[in-house]
A and B are shown apart, each in its own frame.
Chain A
Amino acid sequence: MSYVPEKRNSVFDLMEDMFEPFNMPAMGSLMKTDIRRKDDKYLLDIDLPGYRKEDIRISLYNGSLNISAEHHESKEDKDAKGNILRQERYSGSCSRSFYVGDAIKDSDIQASYQNGILTVSFPTEEKKEQEEKKYIDIL
């Protein structure tokens, strides 16, 4: 896990360093992520309990996949909560980036949010290479 700003080309690097450091190093316990490879996809399972789907943003830029989450509570929502006796859960915003390479496009990425876990999936580079091959029809 090293911070390497320049682009990487090899498949080996993609699987090894699929992650950039947090914006705020103190928040090491947030957005814990499991990464697995299944069939021809990479899947990221990210701990994000207590958000609404609308508050989670996934974006792709320059080969970097960025996931961010915020709370957008109105004043009424806050008042509706009652008196706070103890606050341990993190109530701010958080974000995390992963390097996924340039082969991936927005349309390749799928995400779902269930039971507080955001699962993001996208095809592996081998799968992308297969898709790129085009054959000419023989009439």
Chain B
Amino acid sequence: MQTMRFVPAERHEHDLFDDFFDNMLPGYGTNELMRTDIREKDGKYLLDIDLPGFKKEDMKISLYNGTLTISAEHHDSQEEKDSKGNILRQERYSGSCKRSFYVGEGIHESDIQASYQNGILTVEMPSEQKKQEEERKYIDIR
């Protein structure tokens, strides 16, 4: 089972996948947005994150200091907004959201792969330590 601890200073003992949920919005608790399943399979960790209704370009995955951050925004142009018609009811969340997971110092950007299908962003990374040469800032989403 996961324990979640907030450690503001240096981190030495982190549970893997400690997560720091950045968007505690009123009305949307931690259990509403970006729900994530984490599983391990064949030497890889896979994160399945609920992110319906975004475009690939609007989602960003980055790795910094052992922390993996996934963020998603809507960048609708004014025309796209106007073409939606009159809104009679709005329940779906239409803002941006972000979530971070601690993955440890052994992971590099090049180790991480991501794909987006049916509204789920799947991020995978090796669970065994590996060394990679390439450096990339953002992870491509297939």
Number of inter-chain CB pairs below 8 Å: 110
A115 within 8 A of B: yes
Instruction: Enumerate chain A residues within 8 angstroms of B83, measured Cβ to Cβ.
Output: 38
A4 within 8 A of B: no
State A19–B90 Cα separation when bound (angstroms).
13
Interface size on A, residues (CB 8 A): 36
Q: B2: nearest residue on chain A (CB-CB)? A: A86
User: Chain A, 5-49, contact with B by CB distance < 8 Å: what is the 0/1 string?
Assistant: 000000000010011000000000100111111110011010111
Give the contact stretch, choosing among A77-85, A101-109, A130-138.
A77-85
With A47-B52, A116-B120: A33-B37 Cβ-Cβ less than 8 Å? no
Contact of A52 (CB < 8 Å), options: B40, B42, B85, B118? B118
User: Chain B, 44-80, contact with A by CB distance < 8 Å: what is the 0/1 string?
Assistant: 0110101111110000000000000000000000000
Are the C-beta atoms of A36 and B87 separated by less than 8 Å?
Answer: yes
Contact of A35 (CB < 8 Å), options: B2, B40, B42, B88? B88
Are the C-beta atoms of A33 and B52 separated by less than 8 Å?
Answer: no
Are the C-beta atoms of A89 and B36 separated by less than 8 Å?
Answer: yes
Are the C-beta atoms of A83 and B41 separated by less than 8 Å?
Answer: yes
Chain B contacts to A: CB under 8 angstroms: 2, 17, 31-32, 35-42, 45-46, 48, 50-55, 83-93, 116, 118-120
Offer 8 A-B interface pairs, CB within 8 angstroms, sorted by A: A32-B91, A34-B89, A38-B84, A38-B85, A80-B41, A83-B41, A85-B45, A89-B50
